[in-house]
C-alpha cells in the first residue's frame, strides 16, 4: 500500500510540472524561470545529502560524467521544455513526457547496440500517433503552435539521450548526489543563455512567479524525484509503469487550472500513448 501511495504521488507531482511552468512563464521569461528552479532544487538536494550524511566528493571522472549528464538532462532537456511550454498546451507537455520510454528504445538501439523489437516499434508508432491526435484541437485554437511542438520534441530527444547516457555510466555516487549536482551544473551551463535572452522589463516577481517556482523546485524536482528514486530502487520496470498516469493527471490539471479542452481527441490520443507504453513494457 505504501508503494502504491508513493507511485500515485510521483505521478501527480510529475504531471503538474507542465501547468506550473505555464503559470511561471506568464510572469518571467522561460529560461529565467528554469534557472531559478534549477538552482533552488540543486541547493536543496545537496543540503539534504549533507544533512542525511550521503554527501561524497565526486572524483575527476565523476565530475565529467555529472557535467555531461547535467548538460543533457537539465540544460538541454529542461531548458527546451520550459521554453516550449510558452507555446504549447500544458496537457500536451504531460503527454509528451510520458512517451520518453518509447524514444529511449530508439536511442539505446543506436548508442548501446540494443535492437528494438517489433513490439517496441509498434509502441513507438502508437505513441507518436497518440500525441499527434491529442494536439489536433489545440492546434486549431492556437493553444499549441508548430514552434512549441518542435521545441518539445527536441527536449524529449535530449532527455532520452540523457537517460541512455545515465544507464551507460557505472555510478558510485548516491542518487541524491547525482541529481543535485546535475541540476546545479545544468543551471550553470544554461545561465549565459538566460542572461543573453532575458529582458529585465519582462521580470514580474509576483505571487504567481513565487508559487510556480517553489512548486517546480521543491514539489517536482525534489519530492517528485525522491519518490522516483524510491520506486526505481524497488523495481525499475514497475517504476516506469507509473508514467502511465502522467497524461491522465496532466490533462486533468490543464482542464481544471488552465481551461484547456478535454475532447474525444484527448481520450484517443492518451489511450494510444498509454497503450503503446503498456505494450513496450509487457513481458512475453
Closest Cα partner for 10 from 249, 171, 212, 267?
249
Tens of pLDDT, residues 238-283: 666 677 777 778 888 888 888 877 888 888 887 887 787 677 666 5
**Residue 281: what pLDDT?**
61
**Residue 16: what pLDDT?**
92
Say yes or no to pLDDT of 117 above 60.
yes
Chain mean pLDDT for the chain = 83
Say yes or no to pLDDT of 284 above 50.
no
Distance of CA 278 to the CA centre of its chain: 19
- Angle at the Cα of 134 from the Cα atoms of 24 and 103, rounded to 5 degrees: 80
Spell out the residues 6+ positions from residue 10 whose beta carbon is closer than 8 angstroms to its own: 224, 227, 228, 231, 242
Q: Which three cell numbers stand for residue 283?
A: 513481458
Say yes or no to pLDDT of 19 above 70.
yes
Give the N- to C-terminal CA distance of the chain in Å, as an integer: 27
pLDDT band at 184 (very low <50, low <70, confident <90, very high): very high
Name the one residue in this structure whose C-alpha cell is 527546451. 80
Tens of pLDDT, residues 42-73: 999 999 899 988 888 899 999 999 999 999 98
Closest Cα partner for 12 from 1, 20, 24?
20
CA distance 189 to 154: 18
Closest Cα partner for 221 from 176, 257, 251?
176
pTM of this structure: 0.80
Spell out the residues 6+ positions from residue 265 whose beta carbon is closer than 8 angstroms to its own: 133, 134, 136, 137
**Residue 185: what pLDDT?**
96
**Residue 213: what pLDDT?**
95
Name the one residue in this structure whose C-alpha cell is 524510491. 230
pLDDT band at 115 (very low <50, low <70, confident <90, very high): low
Tens of pLDDT, residues 122-156: 777 777 777 778 777 776 666 778 888 888 889 88
**Residue 146: what pLDDT?**
80
Say yes or no to pLDDT of 32 above 90.
yes
How many helices, marked H, and strands, marked E, lie in the chain?
Answer: 15, 0
- Please tell me what DSSP assigns to residue 282: -
CA distance 7 to 245: 9
**Residue 91: what pLDDT?**
78
Distance of CA 261 to the CA centre of its chain: 22
| Mean pLDDT computed over 91-114 | 69
Say yes or no to pLDDT of 24 above 90.
yes
CA distance 151 to 155: 6
Amino acid at each position: 500500500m505504501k508503494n502504491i501511495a508513493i507511485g500515485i504521488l510521483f505521478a501527480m507531482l510529475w504531471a503538474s510540472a507542465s501547468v506550473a511552468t505555464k503559470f511561471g512563464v506568464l510572469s518571467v521569461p522561460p529560461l529565467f524561470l528554469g534557472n531559478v528552479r534549477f538552482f533552488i532544487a540543486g541547493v536543496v538536494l545537496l543540503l539534504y545529502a549533507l544533512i542525511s550524511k550521503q554527501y561524497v566528493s565526486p572524483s575527476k571522472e565523476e565530475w565529467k560524467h555529472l557535467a555531461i549528464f547535467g548538460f543533457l538532462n537539465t540544460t538541454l532537456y529542461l531548458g527546451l521544455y520550459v521554453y516550449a511550454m510558452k507555446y504549447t498546451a500544458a496537457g500536451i507537455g504531460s503527454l509528451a513526457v510520458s512517451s520518453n520510454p518509447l524514444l529511449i528504445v530508439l536511442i539505446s538501439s543506436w548508442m548501446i547496440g540494443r535492437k528494438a523489437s517489433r513490439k517496441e516499434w509498434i509502441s513507438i508508432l502508437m505513441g507518436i500517433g497518440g500525441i499527434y491526435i491529442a494536439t489536433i484541437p489545440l492546434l486549431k485554437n492556437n493553444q499549441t503552435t508548430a514552434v512549441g511542438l518542435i521545441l518539445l520534441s527536441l527536449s524529449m530527444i535530449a532527455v532520452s539521450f540523457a537517460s541512455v547516457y545515465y544507464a551507460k555510466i557505472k555510478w558510485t555516487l548516491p542518487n541524491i548526489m547525482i541529481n543535485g549536482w546535475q541540476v546545479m551544473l545544468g543551471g550553470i551551463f544554461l545561465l549565459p543563455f538566460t542572461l543573453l535572452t532575458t529582458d529585465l522589463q519582462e521580470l514580474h516577481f509576483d505571487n504567481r512567479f513565487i508559487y510556480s517556482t517553489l512548486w517546480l523546485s521543491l514539489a517536482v524536482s525534489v519530492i517528485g524525484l525522491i519518490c522516483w528514486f524510491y520506486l526505481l530502487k524497488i523495481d525499475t520496470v514497475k517504476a516506469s509503469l507509473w508514467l502511465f498516469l502522467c497524461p491522465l493527471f496532466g490533462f486533468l490539471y490543464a482542464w481544471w487550472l488552465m481551461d484547456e479542452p478535454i475532447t474525444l481527441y484527448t481520450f484517443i490520443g492518451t489511450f494510444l500513448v498509454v497503450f503503446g507504453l503498456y505494450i513496450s513494457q509487457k513481458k512475453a
